[in-house]
Amino acid sequence: MVDPDIAAHYALGFESSRLFIDGRPRLEYIRTLELLDRHLPSPPGRIVDVGGGTGVYAVPLVERGFEVHVIEPIERHVHQVVETARQLNLRGLTAEPGDARDLSGVTEGADAVLLLGPLYHLTESSDRAVALTEALRIVRPGGVVVAVGISRFAYLIDGLKRTILDDPVFRPIVQRDLDSGQHRNPHVQTRPEFFTTAYFHRPEELRDEAFNAGLVDISLFAVEGPSWIVEDPADLDNQLFAARAVESEPALMGATSHLMMIGYRAASD
């Protein structure tokens, strides 16, 4: 069962709009999709999108020719995916309730498994290990697992960007992030912008967790890199240039908001 604070955060209903400003995609969305396009096999193929939210990436992937099955613990999100599939007549888009730690109901042999959310909401390393092992189990030999983490330093940088580091509610949240990676927002109803229960990775930890789960040929990418500090839609080209230029630069990896791990199941076990 998902943590009640996480459920309360998503009950606020911001998830379907968070990646867009005035209908325009934000840097996180553009870069996530660009990295997926680069690392997913060519369609057709079957993708399991674990923690796929409201289907924000599942929809464009179905439009590219994949079949995408979303697994989501938040019922509201499952309904939104199903409704979107119906409205857009996307036969390749399906969804069911579920948790990254138990994919026993999911058909094995997927060409790709996405974990673009569960790893940062699972605050115990043992739970993250189970989620990665489950993804590895249901992907086909040679298939790809894509997992996203939030950087340990994301809210420190966000606080600078929004000039709220001296906010008495915000400061202890950031201090806890820095001390332990354990992000908690005791004010989820009144200050939803401070997110909810999560674990914020150091870059090398995300890589180690993937390695320990048995993934091979692992690479790590900074989704937004340092560019998210600006996030001015009028300057998007420069932000994309900077994000791409240092996407694999270890010295800057922690400056991103989101980290993306790409790893594979060995072609033969």
Ligand X SMILES: C[S@@+](CC[C@H](N)C(=O)[O-])C[C@H]1O[C@@H](n2cnc3c(N)ncnc32)[C@H](O)[C@@H]1O
Q: Which residues pair with 145 in a beta bridge?
A: 113, 263
User: Does 116 interact with ligand X (rule: CB under 6 A)?
Assistant: yes
CB of 131 to ligand X, least distance (A): 7
Q: Which of residues 7-36 bind ligand X (CB under 6 A)?
A: 10, 15
Q: Which amino acid is at 60?
A: P
Of the candidates 30, 36, 46, 53, which one interacts with ligand X according to CB under 6 A?
Answer: 53
- Cα 227 vs. chain centroid, distance in angstroms? 18
Buried b (16+ CB within 10 A) or exposed e, 69-81: bbbbbbeebbebb
Q: How far is the CB of 117 from ligand X (least distance, A)?
A: 3
Binding pattern for the stretch 59-78 against ligand X, x by CB under 6 A and - elsewhere: -------------xxx--x-
* Residue 131 and residue 119 in contact, taking contact as beta carbons nearer than 8 Å: yes
CB of 19 to ligand X, least distance (A): 6
> Is 149 near ligand X (CB under 6 A)?
no
Give SS3 for 151: strand
CA 207 to centroid of chain Cα atoms? 15
Is residue 46 near ligand X by the rule CB under 6 A?
A: no
- Which position among 45, 118, 149, 181 is part of the footprint of ligand X (CB under 6 A)? 118
In whole angstroms, what is the distance from residue 152 CA to residue 156 CA? Answer: 8
Residues that bind ligand X (CB under 6 A): 2, 6, 10, 15, 50-53, 56, 72-74, 77, 99-100, 116-118, 121-122
